[in-house]
A and B are shown apart, each in its own frame.
Chain A
Amino acid sequence: MKKLLALLLTVVMLLALVACGGNNGNSAGNNAGNTGSNNTSDNAGAEDTSGDTAASDIKVGFIFLHDENSTYDLNFINGAKAACETLGITDYVLKTNVPEGQECYDAAADLADDGCDIIFADSFGHEDFMIQAAKEFPDVQFCHSTGTKAHTEGLDNYHNAFASIYEGRYLAGIAAGMKLNEMIEDGTITADQAKIGYVGAFTYAEVVSGYTSFFLGARSVCPSATMEVTFTGSWYDETAEKEGAQKLINNGCALISQHADSMGAPTACELAGVPNVSYNGSTISACPNTYIISSRIDWAPYYEYAISAVMNGTSIDADWTGTLSTGSVVLTDLNTDVAAEGTQEAIDEAMAALEAGTLHVFDTSTFTVGGETLTSYMADVDTDADYTPDTEAISDGYFHESEYRSAPYFDLRIDGITLLDEAY
């Protein structure tokens, strides 16, 4: 028993020693960090007279769910590096493989301890932990991509961002519709067989908004188009996505697209020789014979906007929505070997109309729900556990997506799209 006590005490003492040692090292680091942030706040206070904080005084932290092996995170990592390079920021930290739990708070707090002036996180499940950190560090800005709570949380230093990717999906959908038209003209399929397959992750509004806008884009050029959607219940599950795509191909789908982060669906399409519209980036190198086009969000404009705001001492919007004109919504690598002739022209025309505001993706005259044209729909914009609808989203003849908050909230099940399963 005495031996045990002695051992326990030794351990406690060791830990205490280590903690103290750590503390000393830390206070030095913290001081350095503090001087940095003091400068920032001084300058921020004097913004109207003296001006901006130099890029060299700013430290930026980034939190990513996985590392560069995930297409989703790679897209964010590239955006982060590009934005820092553009702004001349050399002092930035990338933390990869941060799970959606307390580890996210720990990582955010650690970055704040380290003297970061602004911290970004990239995954939906990070949100609550970022809010927790934002409450603890009021002088640090916390920006969370894809989240939904900033506009109701009312914190000055917590912000959400997303992009009107439904517009990008719509344009990609036009490329898909053109391809279907070409197949109908070739006689490969009849007009009735113009069925699109879509592999989604969850029945989440972001996914619903994505496949619906894609479908509406396709149907705007190929009126007989229909769609089948299957869900995998995971944002990254290569096997499930591959099997989902295969199931849709077996069901007779003539073209596949997906909203999930692995190469599962594109690979299945390449093997089966079925055209594929990709997401998050080009898959042309792996699928040269079936890849048509890809839509993705470029995060660099948002990162530049938010970091510049900190440098200039201006405030960051609680909800920031990137668009085609901010350069946040982009289409990559139209594969002319696979795409139908005239695709680029059709996309350019629609893109100009979208930017001019003469064309709306969710124009209520282009779709019906249960056979009815909608004139009113209450969307669940303010997140709560009971999914209470709270905001009228339809006015002026179209559904206003990503206006009342940046993250998508279009969750209508429109006619022409069949959901094969809704388990997730």
Chain B
Amino acid sequence: MRNLVKQIHISKRTELPWYKAWAIRGVAILLALVACALVTMLLTGENPISIYITIFEGAFGTARRTWITAQDLAILLGISLAVTPAFKMRFWNIGAEGQVLIGGLATAACMICLADTLSNGMVILCMILASVLAGALWGFLPAFFKAKWNTNETLFTLMMNYIATQLAAYYIIVWEVPKGSGKIGIINQSTEVGWLPQIGNQYLLSIVVVVILTGFMYLYLSRSKHGYEIAVVGESQRTASYAGIKVDRVIIRTMVLSGAICGLMGLLLVGSINHTLTTTVVDNRGFTAVMVSWMAKFNPIVMVFTSLLLVVLSRGASEISSTFGLNHSFADILTGIIIFFIIGSEFFITYRINLRKSVEKEA
């Protein structure tokens, strides 16, 4: 055994050409599909090919499904874009869940409380402002404490999630209909006050907003002075200070931006998609976004594909469970296997494994 370990030598690769890196990733995905097929056959006895076809049909089987997939993709991608600048700065913001939810809560508050007093246009304007400000505040607080007193941002942003959830739970009971039910129901269902306008169909607005956001974030991170400062702070805070970058300001500014974009996603979720508020409206996408962003190495364009992968898998999951009578957990197992392989492939892209010839040992 010891001999075997000694025969394997791991070294860091020099930069791989892009096509080689993508070839490794492609092989990883193929291997993942094979592993999933084996697991499927062993555990369920179903034909893996028909499972894959069902996943695809669940995501793209009808025009409506394709639109919903695109909309889900937009929301997950939007939240992932929001957390990315902070991650690039090595600020571990795991509070996107709460930042989106608080934006959604602010949106719902405007829709419910202002519907009788203001015109529809004014209500929507208030919703936009309130959601962005609420999200920004949820991003500002942990950043301010980090910048001033070096508090741990991971714990801080995590705690802010619970505060947002409890606030939402409290206001849901204030606004519940009928009394005691713990549900708000669709807000302004008859008047549609505060419903964001539909462009084309009910799905397109979120998609357009996020397409614009993706372009903006790509340019912001790769072409702007702010983006450069974020990268430098991420590499080394000391270097940044030495270069005359005000680190505290960059941290706070970036987190306010992160939070504001999350707030905007809350606006889309409540004002355009659901028209109601529940404590689970974000559906853990604040955490999934962390994975999307990491898997794409903080590149907004690559994030389109990583979030597409996760959305297709999760949309396919419900189709598998109704077509084959398998529990949702089975689809989660497949998703886990695929992600394991994709993340694992990064190891082989970064490192090289050399097999030493063991001649000397034998000698």
CB-CB under 8 A for A205 and B328, given A4-B215, A25-B61: no
Pick the most buried of A11, A21, A29: most chain B CB atoms within 10 A of its CB: A11
Contact among B65, B180, B321 with A207 in the assembled complex (CB-CB below 8 Å): B180
Cross-chain contact A125 with B185 (CB below 8 angstroms):
yes
In the complex, chain A residues whose CB is within 8 Å of the CB of B61: 22, 25-26, 29
Give chain A nearest CB distance to B309 CB in angstroms. 13
- What would be 8 A-B contacts, judged by CB atoms less than 8 Å apart? A15-B66, A18-B66, A26-B62, A96-B322, A99-B283, A102-B275, A205-B180, A384-B177
Assess the A101–B318 pair: CB atoms within 8 A: no
User: Which A89-113 residues have C-beta < 8 A from chain B?
Assistant: 93-102, 106, 109-110, 113
Given A67-B327, A102-B273, A22 contacting B63 (CB threshold 8 A): yes
Query: Any chain A CB within 8 A of the CB of B301?
Result: yes
A8 to chain B, nearest CB (A): 7
Decide yes or no whether B163 CB sits under 8 A from chain A. Answer: no
With both beta carbons as reference points, the residue of chain A lying nearest to B279 in the complex is identified as A234
Query: Provided the pairs A18-B66, A22-B66, A129-B186 are in contact, do residues A148 and B178 lie with their beta carbons within 8 angstroms?
Result: yes
* The residue from A1, A30, A124, A234 contacting B181, defined by CB atoms under 8 A apart: A124
CB closest residue in chain A, given B218: A4
**Are B301 and A4 closer than 8 Å at their CB atoms?**
yes
Query: B182 is contacted by which of A132, A204, A205 (Cβ under 8 Å)?
Result: A204
Chain B residues whose CB sits within 8 angstroms of the CB of A132 once the complex forms:
186, 189
CB-contacts of B53-94 with A (<8 A): 57, 60-68, 70
A29 to chain B, nearest CB (A): 7
Cβ contact within 8 Å between A204 and B181:
yes
**Residue positions of B touching A, CB distance < 8 A:** 57, 60-68, 70, 169, 173, 177-183, 185-186, 189, 211, 214-215, 218-219, 273-276, 278, 280-281, 283, 301, 304, 318, 321-322, 325, 327-328
Interchain CB contact under 8 A, B177 and A22: no
CB distance from B276 to the nearest CB of A (A): 6
A233 touches B182 (CB 8 A): yes
- Nearest B residue to A149 via CB reads B185
Docked pose: A7 CA to B218 CA in angstroms: 12
The smallest beta-carbon distance between A157 and chain B, in angstroms, is 17
Known contacts A67-B321, A202-B182, A411-B179, then 20 further A-B pairs from the complex at CB < 8 Å, ordered by chain A residue: A4-B215, A18-B66, A22-B60, A25-B57, A26-B63, A29-B62, A67-B327, A94-B325, A95-B322, A101-B273, A101-B281, A113-B62, A113-B64, A124-B183, A128-B186, A148-B178, A201-B182, A380-B179, A383-B178, A424-B182
Which 8 A-B pairs give the minimum distances between C-beta atoms?
A204-B180, A128-B186, A26-B62, A203-B180, A22-B60, A101-B274, A102-B274, A125-B183
Q: Is A208 an interface residue (CB 8 A)?
A: yes
A385 within 8 A of B: yes
Q: A17-59: contact bitstring with B at CB < 8 Å (1 yes, 0 no)?
A: 0110111011001100000000000000000000000000000
A203's closest neighbor in chain B, by CB? B180
Q: Tell whether, in the assembled complex, residue B178 and residue A96 are in contact, meaning their CB atoms are under 8 Å apart.
A: no
Q: Which residue of chain B lies nearest to A25 when distances are taken between CB atoms in the complex?
A: B61
On A, residues with C-beta under 8 Å from B are 1, 4, 7-8, 11, 15, 18-19, 21-23, 25-26, 29-30, 67-68, 93-102, 106, 109-110, 113, 124-125, 127-129, 131-132, 148, 201-205, 207-208, 233-235, 380, 383-385, 387, 411, 423-424
What residues on A are CB-neighbors of B276 within 8 Å? 100-101, 128
Asked, given contacts A23-B63, A110-B65, whether A424 binds B173 with beta carbons under 8 Å apart, the answer is yes
Inter-chain contact B63/A387, CB cutoff 8 Å: no
Q: Are B60 and A21 in contact (CB under 8 A)?
A: yes
Candidates B180, B215, B281; contact of A202 at CB < 8 Å: B180
Given the complex, which residues of B lie within 8 Å of A11, measured CB to CB? 304
Q: Which residues of B contact A1 (CB under 8 A)?
A: 219
CB distance from B320 to the nearest CB of A (A): 11
Instruction: Output the residue of B65, B68, B181, B275 with the most chain A CB within 10 A.
Output: B181
For B283, list chain A residues within 8 Å (CB). Answer: 99
CA distance A323 to B281 in the complex (A): 36
List chain B residues, Cβ under 8 A from A93. 322
A93 vs B325: C-alpha distance when bound (angstroms): 9
* Pick from A96, A100, A384: contact of B278, CB under 8 Å: A100
8 Å CB contact of B318 from A15, A97, A100:
A97
CB-CB nearest in chain B for A380:
B178
B63/A19 in contact, CB under 8 A: yes
> Is A94 a contact of B178 with CB atoms below 8 Å?
no
CB distance from A148 to the nearest CB of B (A): 6
For the complex, what is the distance from the CA of A19 to the CA of B180, rounded to whole Å?
Answer: 43
Q: How far is the CA of A137 from the CA of B324 in the complex (A)?
A: 27
- Kindly state the separation between the CA atoms of A132 and B186 in the bound complex, as whole angstroms: 10
Q: How far is the CA of A235 from the CA of B279 in the complex (A)?
A: 13
Pair A109/B64 contact, Cβ less than 8 Å:
yes
Q: Which residue of A lies closest to B222 (CB)?
A: A4
Chain A residues near B63 (CB, 8 Å)? Answer: 19, 22-23, 26
CA distance A205 to B176 in the complex (A): 13
When chains A and B are docked, how far (Å) is the Cα of A26 from the Cα of B59?
Answer: 12
A414 to chain B minimum Cβ distance, whole angstroms, is 16
Q: How long is the Cα–Cα vector from A8 to B185 in the complex, in angstroms? A: 37
B319 to chain A, nearest CB (A): 9
Closest to B281 in A: A101
Q: Is the CB of B177 within 8 A of A8?
A: no
Q: Which of A7, A30, A106 contacts B301 (CB 8 A)?
A: A7
Partner of B62, one of A68, A110, A124, A234: A110
Shortest beta-carbon distance from A61 to chain B in Å: 9
Shortest CB–CB separation between residue B176 and chain A, in angstroms?
A: 8
How far apart sit A208 and B325, CA to CA, in the bound complex (Å)? Answer: 36
- Once the chains bind, are B178 and A205 in contact (CB under 8 Å)? yes
How far, in whole Å, are A411 and B186 apart by their CA atoms in the complex? 24
Q: Given the complex of chains A and B, what is the CA–CA distance between A68 and B304 in angstroms?
A: 34
Chain B residue at minimal CB-CB distance from A68: B327
How far is it, in angstroms, between the C-alpha of A203 and the C-alpha of B189 when the chains are bound? 24
CA distance A18 to B67 in the complex (A): 11
Contact indicator B321/A22 (Cβ below 8 Å): no
By a CB distance below 8 angstroms, the chain B residues around A67 are 321, 327-328
Chain B, residue nearest A129 (CB):
B186
- A210 CB to closest chain B CB (Å) equals 12
Nearest A residue to B211 via CB reads A8
Report the separation of the CA atoms of residues A307 and B64 in the bound assembly, to the nearest whole angstrom: 26
Q: Could you tell me if B215 and A8 are in contact, using CB atoms closer than 8 angstroms?
A: yes
Q: Is the CB of A110 within 8 A of B64?
A: yes
Contact B278 A125 (CB under 8 A): yes
Is the beta-carbon distance between B183 and A383 smaller than 8 angstroms?
A: no
Chain A's closest residue to B175 (CB) is A385
Q: How far is the CB of A410 from chain B (nearest CB, A)?
A: 12
Contact A97 B180 (CB under 8 A): no
Are A106 and B68 in touch, CB under 8 angstroms?
yes
How far, in Å, is B106 (CB) from chain A's closest CB? 18
With most chain A CB atoms within 10 A of its CB, the pick from B70, B169, B276, B325 is B276
Contacts of A19 in B (CB 8 A): 60, 63, 66-67
**Min CB distance, B54 to chain A, in Å?**
13
**Chain A residues near B327 (CB, 8 Å)?**
67-68
Complex Cα–Cα for A52 and B258 (A) = 60
